[in-house]
Structure 1
Amino acid sequence: MNVLHVLGNISGTTIPVEIASATDRLPDTNVSLVSKDPLPQELPDTVENDQVLTDLCGFDDFSTLLHDVGKRYDIVHTHTVAEAAKVGYHAIRQPIHHVNTQHGHLHYTREEKVKNIPGLLLADTIIYNSQCTSRSYNLIEKALKSRANEYVVHNGVNIDAIQSSPTPTSTSQTVVTATRLIKRKNLGTLIRAIAHTDNISLRIIGDGPYKSELQQMTRKAGVESRVEFLGYLPDRQDVYAEIANGDVFALPSHGEGFCVAVTEGMAVGLPVVVSDIPIFHEVVGDAGVFVDRTDPVSIANALRELLENPQKAQTIGEQNRTRIREEFTLEDCARGYRDVYRAELS
């Protein structure tokens, strides 16, 4: 079974790349990658050189791409709105099995939902990354995707990579988070929560358009010396190491489709403080510490409670680690994708 994943870009911290690589390692499944953006100078460690259509990355024309390679693959798999629409349109003229994963519909704006319509209408099979995502469509959207086969396959965490991360060296009370710096992630409230504590520090992994505003917030809140912006880390192993160097993982998002970063914090063995929203109840489960995402005092109290009770934090962290091993491994995710491919071809 030959599968082509059409991606926006290929990087070491992109979950579709990790899933595709893990699926490629399964028996009887060969997965190739091609990206709309040019390739980075170095491929991620998880990606084999012969897995990438290097000569075709950075392509401009979907029609030409799929005409040239479509017959070599049993399934073409898309992950973003733009790629889903263009592959689906091409499939009208040249029949292909088109699978699309919906990663983030829960927090789509009205404009993004409109752009998502062709992908819903033209995909043969749709994979949702969570039950919450699968239930987030309005009546019109449900009608548009009524012809597609539908499956839920949760994202997964690379347990082996996390196990090989360096031993934590932090001796301070440190909260860590990893995310794209955009308003929806609600890091401003987390920064204000840090200001309601005396000696808790915050390390932020990631970059994005909201960074300068967040930095201004730290200065205004008087916690500039306790909040560190680590920036974008291209190597997933470095991300794991930085997460492991914290004591608590926190993310008071307004909305998520799944949130791999939170599951990585859990897999490392940290307690997690997250928003009291349905998706986190689905992913984090009973061991989560759920807070009012609009209340910095509530968040500060939750962080303080964990950091002042290390035995409690350790117990919760071990529960989190067990949950990830039992329900959200990358291998489980890959097998779920393979099962969907087999169902599509049958």
Structure 2
Amino acid sequence: MIRVAALLGVLRHTTIAYEISEHIGQFPNIEMTVISYNDSLIDDLEIEIDTDVVTVKTLNASNRLDLRAISELHDLLRNESFDLLHTHHNFVGSLGCMVAPSDLPIIDTEHANHKDHYSVAQNLVNSVTLGRANRVVANSQATLDSLYPHERVLVPSNQRCVIYNGVDVDWIDTSTKDKTWRTDSPRVTTVGRLIPVKNQETLINSFSAVLDKVPDAELVIVGSGPRQSALEKIAESNGIQDSITLTGGVSREEVYNILYYSDVFALSSYSEGFCVALLEAMASGCPPVVSNIPVLHEVAGDTAVFVDPEDTEGFSAEITRLLDDEDRYQRYSIETRERARTVFSIKRTAEEYLDLYQEVAEGS
């Protein structure tokens, strides 16, 4: 039996680290404990915990440097006889590395591009503890390639690897039975936090030209964040607010339902660590038109159309072309669905982590 503590910042519908932990916990001879640094009561979590496969402990930290929560984490890692610590999320992962017993093996997963996503301060904090990990896992080759030279010195090449995130096909297929978002209008959907790096502005600015060719089309922007008001104003300034829906935060089941009843998935991000949303759209058979950045080529391969993230004319042209060309649309829909479901199964992700857990635990 390998007893694993997975340390996360929060547990949300979009927390892929928890979803992976839950799938790992389904294997025999693995005992998974997920520690949430910021969440308070388990009953208040927005996700349902499968207590048969994972135990969840919450530390209710009021801020990043909550001394009580750090002390509880310190005691937890020393008193629970864990065989392995798996850290996720930049700052909380660093805390775990600092307070863990020196003989406790650690696997650290890096979820975002270091150069594009993290500030100088965040990278400094991460760098202090990165060398403490026995293995550093990146969720994509692009994330691994983003490590700074000094981070590569701290983590030799034989201690670095890539394990891709995966998609839960059964969950997606179950969610599509709900017809709430069914529509006869052509629908373009994007999913992501409403923050500058996601660059939803390009999609909104491109949509006027889409409406010129497909007047009944609609753009659905799924997600919450500080840019919502600004994005609404951009839609109004283009005079297309009636054709755009900003859903705010919704459950994963509702995201899957929206994607299933969408015709095109569009993403104009400047940077992504992996982009689970793209993978979920692909698994739903929703052809993608996405930013021409390396990590999205990793995920989609030849099954997506790639456009520069600032090219509004390119996005409108490619979205319209997919909506107009039935043969091309069907080819992309079939190929993208097949790629997501065969190459990026979350079961495969869990199996690769299980192999790594066994390697590190036995090697220690």
Q: How does the TM-score come out when normalised to structure 2?
A: 0.89
- The one of 70, 74, 82 equivalent to 1:73 is 82
Task: Note closer, same or farther for the CA distance 1:314–1:147 as it changes in structure 2 (3 Å cut).
Answer: closer
State the shift of 1:147 in Å. Answer: 8.6
Counterpart amino acid of residue 36 in structure 1: Y
Partners of 2:43 and 2:234 lie apart in 1 by: 33
Q: Aligned residue for 2:93?
A: 84
- Answering whether residue 10 of structure 2 is matched by residue 29 of structure 1, we say no
Partners of 2:303 and 2:49 lie apart in 1 by: 30
Deviations 1:226-280 (A, max 9, x none): 11011111x3111101111211000011011100000000000010000111111
Conserved 8 A contact 2:221-2:247: yes
- Answering whether residue 281 of structure 2 is matched by residue 271 of structure 1, we say no
Conserved 8 A contact 2:73-2:96: no
Mind listing any 5+ residue stretches in structure 2 that lack a counterpart?
62-67
- Answering whether residue 165 of structure 2 is matched by residue 155 of structure 1, we say yes
Q: Aligned residue for 1:308?
A: 324
Q: Aligned with 2:225: secondary structure?
A: coil
Q: Aligned residue for 2:343?
A: 327
Task: Tell me how large the CA RMSD over aligned residues is.
Answer: 1.9
- Answering whether residue 250 of structure 2 is matched by residue 255 of structure 1, we say no
Mind listing any 5+ residue stretches in structure 1 that lack a counterpart?
none
Q: Aligned residue for 1:44?
A: 47
- The one of 210, 231, 234 equivalent to 1:197 is 210
Conserved 8 A contact 1:273-1:291: yes
- Answering whether residue 113 of structure 2 is matched by residue 99 of structure 1, we say no
Q: How does the TM-score come out when normalised to structure 1?
A: 0.93
- The one of 306, 314, 339 equivalent to 2:355 is 339
Superposed counterparts of 1:145-224, under 5 Å: 145-146=155-156, 149-167=159-177, 169-198=182-211, 199=215, 200-224=217-241
Task: Note closer, same or farther for the CA distance 1:97–1:109 as it changes in structure 2 (3 Å cut).
Answer: same
Q: How many pairs were matched up?
A: 343
Counterpart amino acid of residue 163 in structure 1: D
- Say which is worse superposed, 96-105 or 69-78, in terms of deviation: 69-78
Conserved 8 A contact 1:187-1:214: yes
Q: Aligned with 2:176: secondary structure?
A: coil
Task: Note closer, same or farther for the CA distance 1:29–1:292 as it changes in structure 2 (3 Å cut).
Answer: same
Partners of 1:149 and 1:213 lie apart in 2 by: 43
Deviations 1:102-135 (A, max 9, x none): 0003423333322321231222211100111111
Task: Note closer, same or farther for the CA distance 1:53–1:69 as it changes in structure 2 (3 Å cut).
Answer: farther
Partners of 1:48 and 1:170 lie apart in 2 by: 37
Conserved 8 A contact 2:201-2:231: yes
- Answering whether residue 6 of structure 2 is matched by residue 5 of structure 1, we say yes
Q: Percent identity?
A: 30
Q: Which contiguous aligned blocks of 4+ residues in structure 1 show a shift greater than 6 angstroms?
A: none
Counterpart amino acid of residue 240 in structure 1: Y
- Say which is worse superposed, 122-131 or 307-316, in terms of deviation: 307-316
